[in-house]
Structure 1
Amino acid sequence: MARTIGIFTRARLVQAAATTAMACALSAAPAFAAEAADAPPADAAAEHGLKEIVVTAQFRSQKLQDTPLSITAVTSDLLKSRNQTDISQIAAQAPNVQLTQMGGAFGSSMAAYIRGVGQYDFNPAYEPGVGIYIDDVYYASLTGSVMDLLDLDRVEVLRGPQGTLTGRNSIGGAIKMFSTKPSAENSGNIEAAYGARNRLDLRGSMNFALTDSLFVRVSGVHKRQDGYVNMIDYGCANPGNSLGITGNPNTGKGCVIGKLGEKNYTGARASIRYNPNDKLDWIVSGDYTYENRSNAASVLTVDNTAKTGGVDFRCGNFCTYANFYMPAGGQAGQAYTMPMNTMFTGWGVSSNLKYTLSDNLNLQSITAYRKYHQTFGTDDDFTPYGPIGGAGYNDLTFRFFSQELRLNGKIGSLAEWTIGGFYNDQTSVYFTRQDIRYIVPNVPSFYLQFQGNDPVKANSKAGFATLILHPTSKLNVTAGLRYTSEHKDYTFVRQNWSGGALVDPFGVGALNGSVANYDGNKLDWRISADYRFSPQLMAYATVSTGFKGGGVTARPFTKTQATNGTFRPETLTSYELGLKSDLFDRRLRLNLAGFVNDYKNIQLPISDCSLLDGFAPGTDPYPCAAIQNAGDGKMWGLEGELSATPIDGLNIDATLSWIDGEWNRISAQVTSIKLSDPITSPNWRGSAGIQYTADLGGKNGTLTPRFDLVYTGRQQIGRLTVTSPLDYNPAFALANARLTWKNPKEDLAISFEVSNLFDKYYYLPLRFQALYASAGTVYSNVGRPREWAISVRKSF
């Protein structure tokens, strides 16, 4: 996809390149009521304190405070109390986690980073750096990952490499979502919300029993909201302009031709559970997602008027002159307009079967199949000025099958163990039509327009084992191994727009039919020891590894860039110390961690493909958009999580995180990053929340006000040229407020909420500057302005 030929967001790339961060996560007491059928019993002493949290991060139900991992556990109650309905918002309460909806050039996808390690690029040639799971089923693609949090029981955010537990591509960590299981009770709920810019949300779920052993749960959601960045017809708004750009006669009121940042999302999920006895528990689930909305809300933030006809096309905080228009030229016999909508349709089925073989042995089988289709268009220069433009149309089809087997056992009171295997097979077909005829500066007659239809096949196999020893009643030692073998092949199709042979100055057409292959394997390991000093205090020390899979260069300009562009996995070794405590009769929960990460073979974009093309360094005449193992670095940080309920009804949570580090190596092929640059940013993150449930007495129910504040420190977004200084987004804080009334039965709730309470204007930590060298423009995603909503929820 040629629209990323320039350096995407150097800040994102720098973050993708490394980092760890301090993270603190305080969470209100009611929010942590994660229940599990086989959960260990909660301490009865905590009747009026913080409720016990149960997690399954180590393939078995354990109390959070007994698990030697950095985990933030969040239940659906906390998500609702904070007005959060999609996965990208989880970062607000999970320190050192950054989940960002991508801009229009990347479709319906999400940049996911934990401790500064992750991935932003949706292309199937590249692997995510944060593992995303729903009901233990791996989601292998960033596309379609901005999911609604539909009918969830809880979310577990695991920070740090999870190589032995969740496998490859969890080098930064993992986000595991668990749906509410079907049960024997007949119950349900329905919720409706109306708010700013015609926001309308509808969601509901229903649970019922078909027989004494067969249960069904069905849930659905629909969300719709107008966009918040106006697309303005430049010719209409500026009649008689110096460039002779005329208005479109079909332009609507006020010269507005559309709005970016819409929501239009529909999802459904159904599960059937067969649970005839204590030995067998089998859940089969299916889900469907449909999204049809305008592209992400972006505005032009840099405009070099020397390249844009002497006109500055920046038009304001929440407006853009982008029109997705390209004039005639090259293969484009007449002017045309790219679609400015993103469409996504996806569905999946899964089977999760648990069978108890004996008192000390049980088997679990997890089988899944997923498929999705996405289309979207781009305006790469984000102006109405045709002579500098670039545009792309993208159509991606994806299929994924996975199978996992786990065998869990116990050896008396001495040890617990897990062995298992995992296999997946995936196929993508990426059709694209690219028009970047002006990508080469100072060569106005040059054009580069091509059509691709690239099949990408990949598979992986893994075997894993975990052993938890209990030498004494207070000491536990955990060891884990995981061996992974992976393969990927990418077939490049480069044709003209009619499907025939492509003739171009660089010979891009010679790529047609070329195949790039990657094969690799990796052994991950983990060793951890934890010691419980008292019922209130546990400490642990862990050394663990993880990796992000290798691959091939997805956007080559020459055949040699494709065949020589294979890169290896990037790897991370993490050293971590942690402390977990429940104090003052569980009125205060404080978890702390410190870590040092050794990050190797970081996958970075290079700007000089001389070595791949067979030229002396710095002499390659061809453009370069390759990824290579081009850096090493170290990061270190501190994390803290705190929850408090000083009196009944009052819940306080807060977070604070700090991270720093340094580059040890940067390849000479990388010009956008210097050894002296910070390896990650922001250094500081924090959040705070408070709520109080007031009993109104008698039949009047309760009233709960809640206030949340999230702080993000100054964050680098890269440099525009090799000699430019680093650019930064300034630090900002966002506040949200919510007031909820519940009736005495707590089966009816009415809420009024305001997000971005003080109407802070801010940019998301990414920008698109692929055409800066030729077009002189950069556009950025802008955060949502202040919004309000009223919601009503009824349970039955």
Structure 2
Amino acid sequence: MAKTSTQSLRLFSAGSALALALGMAVPAIAQQAPQAQPQDSAQAADDTGGIKEIVVTAQFRSQKLQDTPLSITAIDANLLASRNQTDLSQIAAQAPNVVLNAQGGAYGSSLGASIRGIGQFDFNPAYEPGVGMYIDDVYYATLTGGIFDLLDLDRVEVLRGPQGTLTGRNSIGGAIKLFSKKPTDENSGTVEAVYGSRQRVDLRGSANFKLAEGLYGRVSGVYKRQNGYVDQLDYGCVYPNNPQGIGARPSSGQGCLIDKLGERNYAGVRASLRYNPNDAIDYIVAGDYTYEDRTNAAEVVTSVNPARVSSTYLCGRFCTFANFYAQGNTPPPGLSIPGPWGQVKDGYYMPNRVKFTGWGVSGNGTFKLGDNFNIQSITAYREYRQKWGTDDDFTPDLNVVGQGYNDLKFWFFSQELRFNGKIGDKIDFTLGGFYSDQRSTYFTRQDIRYIAPGLNFQFTGNDPVNADSKAVFGTVIARPVDGLTLTGGLRYTKEHKDYTFVRLNYDGSVSYFLGALNGVKAVYDGSKVDWRISADYRFSPQILAYVTVGTGFKGGGVTARPFDAPQALNGSFGPETVTAYEVGLKTDLFDRRLRVNISGFYNDYKDVQLPLISCASLGSNAPCGARQNAGDGKIKGVELEVQANPIDGLAFDGSVSYLDGEWSRIDPRVGNAVLLSDPIATPKWKWAFGVQYRAELGSAGSITPRFDMSYFGRNNNGRIAGGAPIDYAAAYTLANARLTWRNKGEDLSVSFEVQNLFDKYYNPYRFAAVQAFTGTIYSQVGRPREWALTVQKKF
């Protein structure tokens, strides 16, 4: 591993990968009028054949992507459609140094996210995300429910690097902002149907309509259904005479098949109303609803310790013997422990499904106060509920008991005000304030007898979690001389969080082994100031160079899973912070036929929130479940993005990124779970490219083949046990192919695609937290090769 210097930023050479441009347009919110040009191009060409400009709003105002001194991957609706990207987790394949992963079954329907090696993967409301998620400038405050369907979008902006002054807390790694299509003064619509592998059925549609002069509406909806691809098998049925004495379950009429993990069953609807009577008022009210009911993530046991469990529990690459069953346990004399899953002494099943329902409303209005000033107000409310079950050991072994049931309720309110203005032609500024209030209630029913077989390590929790945040901020953009732009930003944030622990037995009495936690409230209060200074210089219309220094932070919190009261009361921790140094170059060359953007960065990463091995410093001698600010490190990297339209019809896009870093301090309380010699961020290399060509067929329309490939380097999964070698997830390369025909009028298209073209088997995520107790590790399985046929009609 290369050593990091604190005196200088060393840039690394990176080879370029190419890729591109056109594809079938999904319902999307364009800055331009619809169908102004052929919709084949992922980044559609302008009238001269050059790469189309994308307008972004990362700095509180509309700016061309190539004029914005930030590392931004901007993906418009055409590129999303040409790659067939329909949910947020797919964006990471092409964005440099971005990791988005739909989490495993233990975390329900949540999205793990990191940018430039900094993020968060634990859904628990005691912790904060490390990448800010925004939908139409409204903050989405949790990882749960974050696998957004890319429904009716104009564009996605992936802002890499800390966005402390622009988007505030929890954007320490960066921010991902989704922008929906706004209602306009036209009557139009789109419908789309997909059929594919494993009974896949997708239906999508949108409609835009003019209600009256200055009043417009838009509705869109999506439904997705697909069978799973990992067989959940009945162990007692497959091995009827097994030495463990595990019997078969009652027949379901499917032989030994219990269920299929990894299925899809998702529906969503969105509606918006826009009031825009004149240039002085533009107000949009929007609402959305999401429903999901599916089997747990596709996971299989990938490693067993034969000294603890049978090697026959290794079912195979696409099958598992996990049964979500907990064997009964005789309670202490005189105690009956009833529950909705039956008496504990009789055993019970946990659900192998995830159910999510959520809705939200928002109002986003801009009001002009003369030619040079306006006020923007963004008000939002959101709530959701998610239920899911887990099998922590992922085996049918009745002597290894580790099951859980979770029911998470959440609501969130936020209000943001921005005052934007101009002073002459030289200065733009924004002043603003932000307030949010969120409430969670996390009910859980845990059976963790694997920790100490024979003891009644079972409890229920019903924990209320309250959090709020307040901030004031300002940004100034000044142009003192031609070509030079200076930007400065400042933001002050104050945050609060409290978490009350409920620890009861199944019958409602105080828990045997966690009773000291019952009623304990853990509290965190803190504040932080973020700043940013940048300078950019336009050497010519084709070349912009910039340098920027800024900060960001991930909010502080409380220990989510303490084992006694001292860990809860003394286990609160402060924010982790980063100071980022970045230089970059943005170019549009050869009459905008070639776009090359490159950036290099160096992050000074402080007070990293890490789990402890020993809680003695917190006054606890129990098994340690606390987290503290326990590490510092340095992260550096280089990112390159390329787009090219070398000749009419042919287009490329591509990216490559390099990431490296090392720890400079590890608190001794972390023990040997993390060592100074460990890499602080992975994967080291990521790259992607795509290419397509639109061939005109005269009156028969056009045909466009497209090919995409992406590489994800080996990823640090941590240690199976303290002091053991790091367990790396293997690197993998995926390829997708798509062929699209469009009629001459550009209102009908038919596409055939193959995802994971070479049928690569890979494991993007693994769960080994219980390996020391259960002897098993289970891993998520990437989706195998899939085909799909899509028909789209515009009207």
What is the TM-score with the length of structure 2 in the denominator?
0.93
Residue aligning to 1:86 = 87
Question: What pairs up with 1:265-414 in 2 under 5 angstroms?
Answer: 265-308=266-309, 310-329=310-329, 330=331, 331=337, 332-414=344-426
Query: Is the 2:29–2:152 contact (alpha carbons within 8 Å) kept by the matching residues of 1?
Result: no
Residue aligning to 1:216 = 217
Question: What pairs up with 1:652-663 in 2 under 5 angstroms?
Answer: 652-663=652-663
3-state DSSP of counterpart to 2:692: strand
The alignment status of 1:677 with 2:678, answered yes or no, reads yes
Aligned mate of 1:561, from 541, 548, 567:
567
Q: Distance in 1 between matches of 2:666 and 2:117?
A: 17
Residue aligning to 1:474 = 483
Residues 167/742 of structure 1: CA separation in 2 closer, same or farther (3 Å cut): same
Query: Is the 1:30–1:78 contact (alpha carbons within 8 Å) kept by the matching residues of 2?
Result: yes
Offset of residue 30 of structure 1:
4.7
Aligned AA for 1:49?
G
Residues 673/774 of structure 1: CA separation in 2 closer, same or farther (3 Å cut): same
Question: What pairs up with 1:14-413 in 2 under 5 angstroms?
Answer: 28-30=20-22, 35-36=30-31, 47-308=48-309, 310-329=310-329, 330=331, 331=337, 332-413=344-425
Q: Distance in 1 between matches of 2:84 and 2:369?
A: 43
Aligned AA for 1:521?
S
Q: Distance in 2 between matches of 1:98 and 1:45?
A: 31
Q: Distance in 2 between matches of 1:691 and 1:430?
A: 47
Residue aligning to 2:696 = 695
Q: Distance in 1 between matches of 2:540 and 2:206?
A: 42
Residue aligning to 1:9 = none
Q: Distance in 2 between matches of 1:51 and 1:43?
A: 6
- Which is worse superposed, 768-777 or 230-239? 768-777
Q: Distance in 2 between matches of 1:672 and 1:477?
A: 44
Query: Is the 2:471–2:494 contact (alpha carbons within 8 Å) kept by the matching residues of 1?
Result: yes
Offset of residue 459 of structure 1:
0.2
- Which is worse superposed, 598-607 or 216-225? 598-607
Residue aligning to 2:471 = 462
Offset of residue 529 of structure 1:
0.1
Question: What pairs up with 1:477-516 in 2 under 5 angstroms?
Answer: 477-504=486-513, 508-516=514-522
Query: Is the 2:559–2:567 contact (alpha carbons within 8 Å) kept by the matching residues of 1?
Result: yes
Query: Is the 2:567–2:625 contact (alpha carbons within 8 Å) kept by the matching residues of 1?
Result: no
Q: Distance in 2 between matches of 1:690 and 1:485?
A: 47
Residue aligning to 1:549 = 555
Offset of residue 55 of structure 1:
0.6
Offset of residue 422 of structure 1:
0.2
Q: Distance in 2 between matches of 1:623 and 1:323?
A: 28
Offset of residue 730 of structure 1:
1.8
Query: Is the 2:19–2:691 contact (alpha carbons within 8 Å) kept by the matching residues of 1?
Result: no
Question: What pairs up with 1:515-534 in 2 under 5 angstroms?
Answer: 515-534=521-540
**How many residues in Structure 1 have an aligned counterpart in Structure 2?**
759
Aligned mate of 1:538, from 544, 558, 566:
544
Q: Distance in 1 between matches of 2:158 and 2:526?
A: 28
Offset of residue 306 of structure 1:
1.3
Offset of residue 101 of structure 1:
0.3
Residue aligning to 2:457 = 448
Offset of residue 300 of structure 1:
0.3
Q: Distance in 1 between matches of 2:388 and 2:544?
A: 50
3-state DSSP of counterpart to 1:333: helix
CA offsets 1:615-647 (integer angstroms, 9 cap, x no match)? xxxxx3x22222111110001101111000000
Residues 732/434 of structure 1: CA separation in 2 closer, same or farther (3 Å cut): same
3-state DSSP of counterpart to 2:313: coil
Offset of residue 34 of structure 1:
8.0
Residue aligning to 1:574 = 580
Aligned AA for 1:480?
G
Query: Is the 2:237–2:256 contact (alpha carbons within 8 Å) kept by the matching residues of 1?
Result: yes
Q: Distance in 2 between matches of 1:43 and 1:580?
A: 19
Query: Is the 2:246–2:398 contact (alpha carbons within 8 Å) kept by the matching residues of 1?
Result: no
Q: Structure 1, unaligned stretches of length 5 or more?
A: 1-19, 615-619
Q: Distance in 2 between matches of 1:571 and 1:748?
A: 50
CA offsets 1:331-353 (integer angstroms, 9 cap, x no match)? 51211110000000000000001
Residues 501/44 of structure 1: CA separation in 2 closer, same or farther (3 Å cut): closer
3-state DSSP of counterpart to 2:91: helix
Residue aligning to 2:438 = 426
Residue aligning to 2:616 = 610
- Which is worse superposed, 622-631 or 430-439? 622-631
Aligned AA for 2:794?
S
Q: Distance in 1 between matches of 2:688 and 2:388?
A: 35
Q: Distance in 1 between matches of 2:572 and 2:554?
A: 14
| Higher RCO (CA-CA < 8 Å; seq separation 6+) | 1
Q: Distance in 1 between matches of 2:216 and 2:46?
A: 34
Residues 44/610 of structure 1: CA separation in 2 closer, same or farther (3 Å cut): closer
CA offsets 1:676-695 (integer angstroms, 9 cap, x no match)? 11111111110010000000
Q: Distance in 1 between matches of 2:645 and 2:488?
A: 35
Q: Distance in 2 between matches of 1:43 and 1:103?
A: 36
Query: Is the 1:305–1:312 contact (alpha carbons within 8 Å) kept by the matching residues of 2?
Result: no
Aligned AA for 1:510?
A
Query: Is the 2:29–2:181 contact (alpha carbons within 8 Å) kept by the matching residues of 1?
Result: no
3-state DSSP of counterpart to 1:197: coil
Q: Distance in 2 between matches of 1:37 and 1:788?
A: 33
Residue aligning to 2:773 = 774
Residues 102/715 of structure 1: CA separation in 2 closer, same or farther (3 Å cut): same
